[in-house]
């Protein structure tokens, strides 16, 4: 599963340092959930994801 890219821009008047250092970013977080039964038949889940970001 993958979400769509998300854009974010820092506001110069609220955070001037981040505004000049980065300006804007784009992030994407693909991942998946796996649920399997354990030895007693109870569900056990796991989450696998990766957070990616880039200054734009």
The alpha carbon torsion through 7, 8, 12, 13 (nearest 10 deg) reads 140
Q: Which pLDDT value is given to residue 17?
A: 92
| Spatial distance between the Cα atoms of 47 and 56, rounded to a whole number of angstroms | 28
Q: Which pLDDT value is given to residue 38?
A: 95
How many residues belong to the chain? 56
Q: Which pLDDT value is given to residue 37?
A: 96
Q: Which pLDDT value is given to residue 22?
A: 86
Q: Which pLDDT value is given to residue 2?
A: 62
3-state secondary structure 1-53: CECCCEEEECCCCCCHHHHHHCCEEEEECEEEEEEEECCCCCEEEEEEECCEE
pLDDT for 40-53, tens place per residue? 999 999 999 888 88
pTM for the model stands at 0.51
Q: Collect the ranges in the chain with pLDDT lower than 70.
A: 1-2
């Amino acid at each position: 599963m993958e979400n769509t890219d998300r854009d974010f821009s820092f506001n110069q008047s609220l955070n001037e340092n981040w505004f000049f250092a980065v300006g804007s970013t784009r992030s994407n977080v693909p991942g998946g959930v796996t649920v399997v039964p354990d030895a007693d038949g109870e569900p056990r889940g796991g989450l696998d994801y990766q957070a990616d970001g880039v200054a734009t």
